[in-house]
């Protein structure tokens, strides 16, 4: 598939009963900034002073203080994408724990939603016989995809990997938490990822939302896996990575916030091939 352009955007609205500090992780991840064709700007209405920073996981964050009353966070931008599905390397080998870079050791440990110590025996019973490396991670994805049922009504913010393993039902973040926990229990560094994933190259599945997947460290680099869909997808745009969902919340409010409206856009843009080529060149040179 040739290069494509994808329109990304969101409209998120709140009502605040009082002054409330907030942090938002709504920008395209720094690793994809070179692909942006238009500015990636977080618009705050009413206009509010905000500052940006890079957190400990390398995500671009925005910090501001919301006043009492309604507030809107919105953006619309354009990004160039290869149009290719997620990369696959069936020969990718595991990295011995002794050789894992220091900054990635946290992706082998327990975290808020991933109780690695509770899964050691379970993981080795289920996946210890599978060849280490890509095959083992794929076997984990196959198991989670086959055993867990997707259901929006069963979402809850406190659900951990152990809950998912027990209940066998949840939303995309739950699939990823369980797969991440299995990987870590098998000494494979795994981290949670969130971003845009539109229905590009697949049947329409309903209104858009931000999506979750996970990445594993094999053969000296990070690779994308998705236990919910369990197939390579086109047009995945990363926003943030962390140990689990608690590190990459789209918005965090330090006080009460009433969500009143939520909309996400992830659409392939149909343009003339010459225009798409020029846009890609412009993006690469910026």
CATH number of the domain where residue 169 is located: 3.10.620.30
Name the residue range of residue 50's domain: 4-83+249-285
CATH of the domain at 60: 2.60.40.2250
Q: Note whether 76 and 103 are same-domain residues.
A: no
Distance CA 127, CA 131 (A): 9
pTM for the whole thing? 0.92
pLDDT tens sequence for the chain (286 residues):
458 999 999 999 999 999 999 999 999 999 999 999 999 999 999 999 999 999 999 999 999 999 999 999 999 999 999 999 999 999 999 999 999 999 999 999 999 999 999 999 999 999 999 999 999 999 999 999 999 999 989 889 999 999 999 999 999 999 999 999 999 999 999 999 999 999 888 887 777 789 999 999 999 999 999 999 999 999 999 999 999 999 999 999 999 999 999 999 999 998 654 454 444 444 443 3
- Confidence (pLDDT) at 283: 41
The domain tally of the chain equals: 2
Give Cβ neighbours of residue 55 (< 8 Å, ≥ 6 apart): 25, 61
Residues 113 and 28 in one domain: no
Whether 146 is in a domain gets the answer: yes
- Which ranges in 148-233 belong to alpha helices (H)? 161-167, 172-185
* pLDDT for residue 208: 79
Cis peptide before 185 (omega within 30 of 0): no
In a domain, 90, yes or no: no
Q: What is the pLDDT of residue 2?
A: 54
240 lies in a domain?
no
- Do 223 and 277 have their domain in common? no
CA distance 265 to 23: 21
Rounded to 10 degrees, the C-alpha dihedral 108/109/110/114 comes to -10
Closest residue by Cα to residue 37 from 237, 259, 256, 245 = 237
- Token pair recorded at residue 106: 């946290």
Predicted confidence at residue 282, as pLDDT, reads: 43
Collect all residues with Cβ–Cβ distance below 8 Å to 247 and sequence separation of at least 6.
57, 111, 192, 240, 241
Same domain? 220 vs 172? yes
């Amino acid at each position: 598939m040739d290069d494509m352009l994808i329109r990304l955007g969101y409209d998120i609205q709140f009502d605040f009963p009082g002054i409330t500090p907030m942090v938002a992780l709504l920008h395209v991840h720094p690793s994809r900034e070179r692909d942006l064709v238009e500015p990636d700007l977080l618009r705050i209405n009413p206009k509010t002073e905000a500052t940006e920073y890079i957190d400990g996981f390398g995500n671009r964050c925005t910090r501001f203080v919301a006043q009492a009353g309604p507030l809107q966070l919105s953006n619309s931008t354009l990004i160039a994408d290869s149009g290719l599905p997620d990369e696959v390397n069936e020969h990718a080998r595991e990295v011995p724990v002794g050789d894992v870079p220091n900054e990635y050791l946290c992706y082998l440990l327990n975290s808020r939603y991933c109780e690695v110590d509770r899964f050691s025996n379970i993981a080795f019973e289920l996946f210890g016989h599978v060849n280490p490396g890509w095959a083992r991670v794929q076997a984990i994805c196959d198991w989670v995809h086959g055993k867990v049922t997707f259901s929006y009504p069963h979402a809850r913010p406190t659900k951990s990997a152990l809950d998912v393993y027990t209940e066998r039902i949840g939303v995309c973040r739950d699939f990823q938490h369980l797969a991440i926990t299995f990987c870590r229990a098998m000494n494979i560094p795994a981290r949670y990822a969130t971003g845009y994933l539109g229905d590009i190259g697949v049947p329409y599945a309903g209104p858009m939302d931000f999506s979750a997947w996970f990445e594993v460290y094999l053969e000296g680099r990070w690779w994308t896996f998705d236990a919910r869909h369990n197939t390579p997808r086109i047009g995945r745009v990363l926003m943030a990575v962390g140990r689990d969902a608690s590190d990459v919340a789209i918005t965090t409010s330090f006080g009460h916030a009433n969500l009143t409206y939520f909309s996400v856009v992830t659409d392939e843009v149909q343009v003339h091939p010459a225009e798409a080529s020029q846009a890609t060149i412009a993006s690469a040179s910026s």
